[in-house]
């Protein structure tokens, strides 16, 4: 039985496109409110502060200068001993 070249054993299916719908779906997006913006700003600020403190190098060293006791007047040193290191009572000796 000879087969003809024009006949195909598989039927080709045509792509059926869905019928266009008459209803259009509109998505409404709501903008965030004021409180939402405040919360977001606080979160970003706190996160930035944490990150900055985490990666900050410990090069900031605060030095406090104290006058060596040898350069203070003897009266001031004596007064500090008598008044238990009360600077207000002995400041007259530094002037």
Digit-coded pLDDT (tens) for 36-67 = 899 999 999 999 988 888 887 666 667 676 66
Model confidence at 82: pLDDT above 70: yes
pLDDT of residue 41: 92
pTM of this structure? 0.29
- Are 93 and 76 contacting, i.e. CB atoms less than 8 angstroms apart? yes
What pLDDT band is residue 77 in, cutting at 50, 70 and 90?
Answer: confident
Q: Can you say how many angstroms the Cα of residue 54 is from the centroid of all Cα atoms in its chain?
A: 11
Residues 67, 69, 75, 76, Cα dihedral to 10°? 40
Q: How far apart are CA 8 and CA 4, in angstroms?
A: 9
45 vs 94 pLDDT, higher one: 45
> Helix count (H) and strand count (E) of the chain?
3, 0
């Amino acid at each position: 039985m000879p087969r003809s070249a024009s006949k195909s054993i598989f039927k080709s299916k045509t792509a059926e496109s869905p019928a266009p719908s008459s209803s259009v779906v509109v998505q409404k997006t709501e903008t965030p409110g004021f409180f939402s913006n405040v919360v977001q700003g606080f979160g970003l600020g706190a996160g930035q502060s944490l990150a900055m403190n985490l990666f900050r190098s410990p090069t900031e060293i605060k030095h406090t200068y104290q006058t060596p006791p040898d350069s203070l007047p003897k009266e001031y040193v004596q007064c500090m001993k008598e008044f238990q290191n009360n600077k207000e009572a002995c400041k007259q000796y530094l002037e």
